């Protein structure tokens, strides 16, 4: 039993200025795992980086979650501030970074490649949001939009240090200078957040091809105006193309339609089978 009944859709578009699409995404409603990656690097390297990251994170999460692997056995974990599933995501991202970094270091055609990553996962009673780079994750709740990822770029850091205002940051051509990504460095410390879900939460994961051209308020408005995930994705791609489509654009939208509150009843039946999950449910 999953608390979250998610409806989702994803769409990617090469845009009007680029030859290839270096973005990648994945949607897995059975795992409740949603990923967007924006690759960089010459020739086909960017595509390889983003696809590798999406696949590795998806596979490792599936494997570890399926076997309820203890955190201690996970690559580079545990981070004690996170839940077990949060550690699965962290481990998956760190593992993907290691692999992409290795490929970029040892193969000439992949030199300099890297990718951003935005990962959203649901387990009963918990939303996990993880990212590295500048592909954002938004949560829309009660008519408000909140970015539940952290932008890892030079200007965002300048804003955080108080050296630049938000307005200056939006105008700065340096907003594409990333301070974190998968591939460039041997080690990576992604940002991960854990939040309790609420009824009818909705989420947008995207590449900066969208957020370069569309404001947070516009995203909020578009989400409020369209309930169908597929149509919403199409609307986002259309607006990016209408405004110039200078970059690849990828959007994944997820709606938690009617979060089921786990009741005490079924827990007895599940017993020890769902050790991890039921412990979360019991907290309700």
Partner 1 sequence: MYKWIKIVRTEQIINRYSFNKDNLTIGRKPENDVQIDNLAVSGHHARVDRTGNDYILTDLQSTNGTFVNHKQIVSHTLKHGDNIQIGKHVLIFLASEKQEAGAEEPVKERDLDKTMILDTAKQRELIAKQAKPGTAVPAASEKIGVLSALGGSDLGEIELTKKLTRIGKADTSEIRLSGMMMGATAATISKRPSGYTIAFTGGRTKIKVNGNVIHDSVPLKDFDTIEIGSHKFQFYQKETK
Q: Is the separation of the CB atoms in 132 and 153 below 8 Å?
A: no
Q: Is the separation of the CB atoms in 178 and 133 below 8 Å?
A: yes
Least distance from partner 1 to the Cβ atom of residue 127, Å:
9
Site string for partner 1, 204-233 (x = CB under 8 A): --------x---------------------
Beta bridge partners of 254: 8, 203
Identity of the residue, 158 or 257, whose beta carbon is nearer to partner 1 in the bound complex: 158
Say how many CA atoms lie within 13 Å of 197 toward its Cβ.
31
Stretch that binds partner 1, among 55-63, 67-75, 165-173, 228-236 (CB under 8 A): 165-173
Beta bridge partners of 37: 24
Least distance from partner 1 to the Cβ atom of residue 110, Å:
12
| 3-class secondary-structure state, position 18 | coil
Cis, peptide link before residue 245, omega less than 30° from 0: no
Site string for partner 1, 17-36 (x = CB under 8 A): x-------------------
Tell me: does residue 185 bind partner 1 (CB under 8 A): yes
- Interface of this chain with partner 1, residues 36 to 65, rule: CB under 8 A: 40
Residue 116 is encoded by which pair of tokens? 């951003």
Distance CA 152, CA 175 (A): 9
Q: What is the contact surface with partner 1 in residues (CB under 8 A)?
A: 17, 40, 80-83, 86, 111-112, 126, 141-142, 146-150, 154, 157-158, 160-164, 168, 171-174, 176-179, 184-186, 191-196, 198, 212, 246-247, 261, 279-280, 282-284
């Amino acid at each position: 039993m999953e608390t979250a009944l998610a409806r989702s859709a994803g769409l990617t578009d090469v845009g009007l200025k680029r030859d290839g699409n270096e973005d990648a995404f994945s949607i897995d409603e059975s795992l409740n795992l949603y990923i967007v990656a924006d690759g960089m690097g010459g020739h086909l390297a960017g595509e390889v980086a983003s696809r590798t990251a999406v696949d590795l994170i998806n596979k490792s999460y599936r494997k570890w979650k399926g076997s309820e692997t203890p955190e201690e056995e996970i690559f580079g974990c545990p981070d004690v501030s996170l839940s077990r599933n949060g550690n699965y995501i962290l481990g998956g991202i760190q593992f993907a970074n290691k692999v992409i970094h290795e490929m970029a270091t040892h193969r000439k055609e992949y030199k300099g490649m890297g990718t951003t990553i935005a990962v959203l996962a649901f387990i009963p009673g918990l939303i996990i949001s993880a990212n590295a780079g500048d592909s954002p994750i938004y949560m829309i709740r009660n008519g408000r939009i909140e970015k539940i990822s952290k932008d890892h770029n030079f200007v965002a850091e300048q804003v955080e240090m108080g050296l630049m205002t938000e307005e200056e940051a939006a105008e700065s051509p340096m907003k594409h200078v990333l301070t974190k990504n998968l591939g460039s460095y041997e080690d990576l410390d992604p940002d991960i957040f854990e939040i309790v879900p609420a009824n009818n939460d909705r989420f947008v994961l995207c590449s900066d091809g969208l957020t370069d051209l569309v404001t947070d308020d516009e995203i909020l408005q578009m989400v409020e105006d369209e309930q169908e995930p597929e149509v919403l994705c199409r609307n986002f791609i259309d607006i990016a193309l209408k405004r110039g489509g200078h970059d690849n654009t990828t959007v994944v939208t997820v709606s938690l339609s009617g979060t089921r509150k786990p009741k005490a009843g079924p827990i007895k039946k599940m017993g020890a089978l769902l050790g991890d999950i039921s412990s979360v449910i019991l907290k309700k």
